[in-house]
Amino acid sequence: MIPGQKDQPWQGTFDDLGRNLAQTTFVVIDLETSGGSPAMAGITEIGAVKVRGGEIIGEFQTLINPGENIPAFITVLTGITNAMVIKAPSIQETFPALLEFLGSPAETVIVAHNAPFDLGFLKGAAKNNQYEWPNFPVVDTARLARQVLTKDEVPNCKLGTLAVFFDAQTSPTHRALDDARATVDVLHGIFDRLGSFGVTTLEELKSFSTRITNAQRDKKYLASSIPQAPGVYIFRGAKNEPLYVGTSRNLKTRVRSYFTAAETRKRIHEMIALTDHVDTVVCATILEAQVRELRMINEHKPHYNKRSRFQEKALWLKLRQKPMVRFYVVQGNKSIAEHEIWCGPFAGRDEAQSAMNAIHHHFLDVSSFSPSDLRDITQSLTMKMNSLSDQELFEEAVSVRNQISALTRGVSRGHHIRALTCLPEIIVAKPAHGEGQWEFACIRYGRLAGSAISMPGIDVQHTIESLVLTSEVVIDDGSILPASSHEEVEKLLTFIDSEGVRIVSIKGQWALPIFGSTAPIVVAEQMHARYQ
């Protein structure tokens, strides 16, 4: 083993995070190389030991011809000479057998002492020889040793030092198989230590990292009773105040991840330190969970949520007559009446200002602007942009381009939002994850009024009828957003536009102006396309 690079975080993922360590297959691997960098040196020997449940179930060893002379100091260190590797296979010839021994990333965890060094060489060799290196989960015994052993116990965490401390049956000799065998004993010694920390599964091993804060370690029990279902989770403080709101298809898996090494955000670490308990709201569908999340964030404005806290402050453009006839940037849709000329929402003040400039620069009388037909204004601005570009006035051309983009985006968003909020009711269906199951959503005036999952053996029509009867009653107040926020409406539109979604029934007219934006026309007048 040649000392290498700095420690790196855990790599790879596990499909089953609760797998017991005693039931997991580990392949402990060690390399000898002709130098310290994959870019400048090659592999001279590979040794690997496959273990499960504390028992060795296979070994792999081969010398490798690195295709270059082995430096004298490497020969002194490892005992591997040029004569020993001259008839050895190349790394390209060795890779198929090595990959077969390693097995599938779904079953195998790679272990190495100073893993970034060994994995760096293997990944580099795979790339150079047109092999795809599987995304194995990786355990670094050097890093783990630093976490479970004190300076009073060992002066350092070199493999030789740890082999003596853990009374390894094989002493490391800077030969690959010997060092791999020694690392096996070190790994088992470390696992014994980890048991005292309550680490018995792969998930717990993954979370045992220097990046884990004391609060994460101390409060991971908060995730123990979380249900495995779609829904919303709420981290709450000592006064029951919401600190953070999120959503997931699997609440238990998601909440548990906050207490593992996968969570690296400093503000979330701070939030966990303040957390007293975690509440959950189980939802029938993931769409319902996502909408509930938006509503809760908007209502409670949890400090540690960055997005969606101030949905009511979105910016729109509105035509006013006073103090002069022109468009103004307004905050929130409540100041806009349906009969007025408006567009938006916009991503920010700069985009709203660009869209407003586009209108004012094109129209002498801005009251003649119609969001339903952008052909004249976009054509005029495009000609202006091209003219500026031909004159090599590129900054001015970019400004005009931004005006076109801002205007068409804002108008398009407004058209799509209002098209849905005009509908008294639309029922849509999407195939669910369970075989033969469907996810249904009832949307009324742009608000999710209810959702349901059809179950095998139950008539789908019965599910639809029950959904319609139990969904929330929504009143149209005549505004552009009668019953929800623009974010909720756009969330619903994204769902409707997703693959596999079918319209079950619709009341009212769903339409977009043909020339109002870059979006294609969608017209569905008094549709009643029953699910089949």
Nearest CA among 135, 154, 136 for reference residue 144: 154
Instruction: Report yes or no: 189 and 141 within 8 Å, Cβ to Cβ.
Output: no
Residue pLDDT, tens place only, 470-503: 999 999 888 888 888 999 999 999 999 998 999 9
Q: Tell me if 372 is assigned to some domain.
A: yes
Residue pLDDT, tens place only, 246-266: 999 999 989 988 887 667 788
- CATH number of residue 186's parent domain: 3.30.420.10
Residue 436 structural domain? 421-525
- With a pLDDT cut of 70, the percent of the chain lying above it is 90
How confident is residue 209, by pLDDT bands cut at 50, 70 and 90?
low
How confident is residue 14, by pLDDT bands cut at 50, 70 and 90?
very low
Does 486 participate in catalysis according to the annotation?
no
Q: Tell me if 16 is assigned to some domain.
A: no
Mean pLDDT of all residues in 357-367? 78
Say whether pLDDT at 366 is over 90: no
Rg (CA), the chain: 31
Q: Do residue 493 and residue 361 come from a single domain?
A: no
Cβ-based neighbours of 379, under 8 Å, separated by 6 or more? none
Residue 207 has what pLDDT?
A: 67
Distance CA 276, CA 236 (A): 6
Residue 359 has what pLDDT?
A: 86
Q: CA torsion 330→331→337→338, rounded to 10°?
A: 100
519 versus 85: the higher-pLDDT residue is: 85
How confident is residue 4, by pLDDT bands cut at 50, 70 and 90?
very low
Q: Do residue 217 and residue 165 come from a single domain?
A: no
Say whether pLDDT at 339 is over 80: no
Mean pLDDT of all residues in 383-398? 86
Final residue of a structural domain among 309, 341, 373: 309
Looking up tokens 């209108």, which residue turns up?
359
Q: Tell me if 12 is assigned to some domain.
A: no
How confident is residue 242, by pLDDT bands cut at 50, 70 and 90?
very high
How confident is residue 523, by pLDDT bands cut at 50, 70 and 90?
very low
**Would you call 452 helix, strand, or coil by DSSP?**
strand
Looking up tokens 């083993």, which residue turns up?
1
Most confident range (mean pLDDT) of 101-105, 390-394, 518-522 is: 101-105
Distance CA 19, CA 22 (A): 9
Residue 517 has what pLDDT?
A: 55
Q: Do residue 174 and residue 37 come from a single domain?
A: yes
Residue pLDDT, tens place only, 423-447: 999 999 998 876 678 899 999 999 9
Half-sphere exposure of 4 (CA within 13 A, CB side): 29
Q: Do residue 304 and residue 330 come from a single domain?
A: no
Q: Tell me if 5 is assigned to some domain.
A: no
Q: What is the DSSP string of 24-83?
A: -EEEEEEEEESSS-TTT--EEEEEEEEEETTEEEEEEEEE---SSPPPHHHHHHH---HH
Residue 530 has what pLDDT?
A: 30
Average model confidence (pLDDT) for the chain?
A: 86
Q: Which of 174, 362, 416, 486 is catalytic?
A: 174
Residue pLDDT, tens place only, 171-196: 999 999 999 999 999 999 999 888 77
Q: Do residue 438 and residue 410 come from a single domain?
A: no
Among 61-75, 96-110, 180-194, 448-462, name the one with the lowest average pLDDT.
448-462
Distance CA 136, CA 106 (A): 8
Q: Tell me if 13 is assigned to some domain.
A: no
Q: Do residue 125 and residue 142 come from a single domain?
A: yes
Say whether pLDDT at 3 is over 60: no
Say whether pLDDT at 531 is over 60: no
Q: Do residue 250 and residue 144 come from a single domain?
A: no
| CB-based burial, 439-477: b 16+ in 10 Å, e otherwise | bbbbbbbbbbbbbbbbeeeeebeebbeebbeebeebeee
Residue 36 has what pLDDT?
A: 86
Among 200-214, 267-281, 364-378, name the one with the lowest average pLDDT.
200-214
Residue pLDDT, tens place only, 99-134: 999 999 989 999 999 999 999 999 999 999 999 999
How confident is residue 1, by pLDDT bands cut at 50, 70 and 90?
very low
198 versus 245: the higher-pLDDT residue is: 245
| CB-based burial, 187-225: b 16+ in 10 Å, e otherwise | bebbbebbeeeebebbbbbbbbbeebbebbeebbebbee
Token readout for 223 is 């995730």
Q: Do residue 148 and residue 249 come from a single domain?
A: no
Q: Tell me if 10 is assigned to some domain.
A: no
Instruction: Report yes or no: 56 and 184 within 8 Å, Cβ to Cβ.
Output: yes
Q: Do residue 427 and residue 510 come from a single domain?
A: yes
Distance CA 177, CA 30 (A): 7
Residue 451 has what pLDDT?
A: 94
Nearest CA among 265, 321, 336 for reference residue 480: 336
Q: Do residue 167 and residue 112 come from a single domain?
A: yes
265 versus 169: the higher-pLDDT residue is: 169
Tell me whether residue 274 is exposed, middle or buried, using C-beta atoms within 10 angstroms of its C-beta: 0 to 12, 13 to 18, 19 or more. Answer: middle
Residue 521 has what pLDDT?
A: 30
Number of domains in the chain: 4
Q: Do residue 517 and residue 408 come from a single domain?
A: no
Q: Do residue 113 and residue 30 come from a single domain?
A: yes
Instruction: Provide the residue type at 148 as one letter.
Output: V
274 versus 312: the higher-pLDDT residue is: 274
Token readout for 409 is 């985006």
Specify the DSSP element, H or E, that contains 469: helix 460-470
Instruction: Report yes or no: 80 and 74 within 8 Å, Cβ to Cβ.
Output: yes
